[in-house]
Amino acid sequence: MNFTEQFFDILCLNINTGQSVKVPKYGYMAEGTGLAYYPDLDPEGEEIFPITHLASGLQAGPKFYSEDDSRAFIEKIAPLIDWHQDAKAIFGIADLQAQIKRAVLEVAGDNEYSFSRTSKRCRKALLQKSKEIAGVQHE
């Protein structure tokens, strides 16, 4: 898979205020997939590489601590669906979250510290806000 350096927008969500804002990032687009990743820092100052769904700017997986793991994750999830679809269509795909979780485990292997952990409360709030932005009805 080829990756091209370029600017793209991500959508930053604030779960406390409910607001979202587009932020330009410079990163690596996986050609022909609708997915990208970019270098960033976690709250402790460690370098991480979040994956982004380009059509929506929403995060599309965990934040890996290794650039190689982010690339490997994109290579695993790219063939699952057409990532060029809007987020609403993607949220409607049955079993996609389970397939993404399997891909995370395959990439991480036995190294549970290969990606940044987010609290269950925060993950749930971010997922709900992402669905709201995408226009998906509450479940």
Distance CA 74, CA 60 (A): 9
pLDDT in tens, 109-133: 766 555 655 555 555 655 566 667 6
Extents of the domains making up the chain: 3-134
pTM: 0.79
Residues 14, 23 contacting (CB under 8 angstroms): no
Specify burial of residue 45 (Cβ count, 10 A radius: 0-12, 13-18, 19+): exposed
* List of long-range contacts for 48-53, beta carbons under 8 Å, 24+ apart: 48/116, 50/10, 52/8, 52/10, 52/25, 52/27, 53/83, 53/87, 53/90
Q: Are strands 115-116 and 40-41 parallel, antiparallel or unpaired?
A: unpaired
pLDDT in tens, 52-65: 999 988 888 778 88
